[in-house]
Amino acid sequence: MVKHRVHDVRPIDYLRMSDAEHRRLAAALDAQAVTPNGPDRRIQRVPYLVPCGINVRVRQPGGSDWQYYLIRPRNLSPQGMAFFHGGYLHNKTYCEVSLRRRDGSTVACTGEVVHCRFITGRIHEVGLCFHHPIDLRLFVRTSEAPEMVVAVGPVRGSILCADDSLEDRALLKFQLSEMGATVQEAANIERLLHQVRSQRFDIVILGQSLGRPGAELAAAVRKLGYTGPIIQWADVDRPADWAQGLLTKPFGPDQIQSLLRTHLPAGQPARMTRSISIPSTLWPQYKMRSLILQYLDTLEEQTMHLQHLADEQDVAGQIVLVRQIRGSAGSYGYPAISEAIATFLAVAQHEPTQATSHLQLIIDLCQRACAFRGDVDCERDLAA
């Protein structure tokens, strides 16, 4: 019998890999038949490509301290699993990995590393042998063993998800984004209220772990002028009086899609353009990360001001502000923003009637840069 223990961990490091890159790498290794899965194999393995990755905590041989990581699983068997990791792990390293079941819940299984091999860049493939076998049917459809990719119909809209669990937010953001929605996150009350104050949302989803009763949070959101539906995100049977809908924990894609279909009818125009976040080119330098995150707070305020100047058609103000942004964007690893501003300034000088589209490109790039904060560990927000 496996000893399952749910643990809430916050990764101190993670492998920077998108879901698409994750699938491509796994497919490439399968095609190379590095670890064949034919009928002669004693233990059959099935793909286990969990969106957004899963948490693992590690204790090195002879050590006593835990280290926390976000990993990308490759495959799974009753006796163990293989996963992609951003560093080398020695044999006999003790691991406790948070496996995600098909119903969306999370359980922890323990095991030891039995092999680790270099793949490319930072990427290593780690083989883990469980201390106790698992029931594979709880985690994958063993008959066809499809990838764990949510397939749902498209919806459109802007959604704010507020909860203090990084893992829960990451999973919900992935599923909502796959359905076509634009998603912003808030890890604490201050961030929640700031987002509602500064942006327009079609739906606000409130978690149950933000430190204040849901009714008070909902009232605070309404006080800021938000009039759309507020969804309660909690492990309860029915929504509270202040909520217009309920998203239970754990949740599945069918429940999410039904909820969105109710509050976001198909064809409703999105109020925000869906975009992909832009990481700083300096992000791999660990000493720069806190400085980059502080800069993004400033950039967000500058971007909102720039949007206001665009609405007011204040060209002179736009030029002054974009020059300020240009001076720091390159220093913090955002050359695309600096280049877009250089183009805007040239166009504004020689063809001012054509400058509007270039200004909107700058705003979009800045918003995408700020959105990167939702893709990384939000320890600073949680500690605020």
Residue 330 has pLDDT above 80, yes or no: yes
What's the confidence (pLDDT) of residue 155? 58
If asked whether residues 318 and 361 sit together in one domain, one would say: yes
Distance, in Å, from the CA atom of 234 to the CA atom of 164, rounded to the nearest integer, reads 12
* Pick from 23-37, 186-200, 202-216, 290-304: least confident: 23-37
What's the confidence (pLDDT) of residue 121? 84
In a domain, 383, yes or no: no
Domain final residue pick, 138, 169, 190 = 138
What's the confidence (pLDDT) of residue 8? 43
- What is the residue range of 189's domain? 158-274
If asked whether residues 307 and 370 sit together in one domain, one would say: yes
Residue whose structure tokens are 């961030």? 191
Domain final residue pick, 212, 247, 274 = 274
Residue 313 has pLDDT above 60, yes or no: yes
Domain final residue pick, 106, 138, 170 = 138
In a domain, 4, yes or no: no
- pLDDT per residue as tens digits for the range 13-56: 566 777 778 888 888 887 765 444 444 444 567 888 887 778 88
If asked whether residues 77 and 109 sit together in one domain, one would say: yes
Residue whose structure tokens are 């490109």? 361
Do 157 and 149 form a contact (C-beta atoms < 8 A)? no
What's the confidence (pLDDT) of residue 13? 58
In a domain, 131, yes or no: yes
CA dihedral (110, 112, 118, 120) in degrees, to 10, reads 10
Residue 127 has pLDDT above 50, yes or no: yes
If asked whether residues 33 and 73 sit together in one domain, one would say: yes
Residues 6+ apart with CB under 8 A from 338: 326, 329, 330
Task: Categorize the per-residue pLDDT at 344 as very low, low, confident or very high, splitting at 50, 70 and 90.
Answer: confident
In a domain, 209, yes or no: yes
If asked whether residues 92 and 127 sit together in one domain, one would say: yes
- pLDDT per residue as tens digits for the range 222-270: 999 899 999 998 878 788 899 998 888 766 666 777 777 778 754 443 3
User: Quick one: DSSP state of residue 252?
Assistant: -
* Cis peptide bond prior to 250, omega within 30° of 0: yes
If asked whether residues 25 and 118 sit together in one domain, one would say: yes
Sheet hosting strand 158-162, strand order edge to edge: 182-186, 158-162, 203-207, 230-234, 245-248
In a domain, 148, yes or no: no
If asked whether residues 133 and 180 sit together in one domain, one would say: no
**12-48 core/surface letters (b: 16 or more CB in 10 A; e: else):** ebbbbbebeebbebbeebeeeeeeebeeeeeeebbbb
If asked whether residues 20 and 130 sit together in one domain, one would say: yes
If asked whether residues 53 and 124 sit together in one domain, one would say: yes
Supply the pTM of this predicted model.
0.39
Task: Categorize the per-residue pLDDT at 5 as very low, low, confident or very high, splitting at 50, 70 and 90.
Answer: very low
Sign of the C-alpha dihedral computed for residues 36, 39, 42 and 48 taken in this order: positive
In a domain, 333, yes or no: yes
What's the confidence (pLDDT) of residue 254? 60
Residue 349 vs residue 229, higher pLDDT: 229
If asked whether residues 85 and 173 sit together in one domain, one would say: no
In a domain, 145, yes or no: no
User: What are the distances in angstroms from CA 191 to CA 118, 132, 197, 202, 297?
Assistant: 39, 41, 10, 17, 11
The CATH number given to whatever domain includes residue 65 is 2.40.10
Considering its fold, how many domains does the chain have in total? 3
Task: Categorize the per-residue pLDDT at 220 as very low, low, confident or very high, splitting at 50, 70 and 90.
Answer: very high
- pLDDT per residue as tens digits for the range 71-111: 899 999 888 999 999 889 998 899 999 888 876 677 888 99
If asked whether residues 217 and 301 sit together in one domain, one would say: no
Q: How is 192-221 classified by DSSP, letter by letter? A: HHHHHHHS--SEEEEES-SSS-HHHHHHHH
The CATH number given to whatever domain includes residue 218 is 3.40.50.2300
In a domain, 349, yes or no: yes
Residue 294 vs residue 166, higher pLDDT: 294
Question: CA end-to-end span of the chain, whole Å?
Answer: 41
If asked whether residues 113 and 183 sit together in one domain, one would say: no
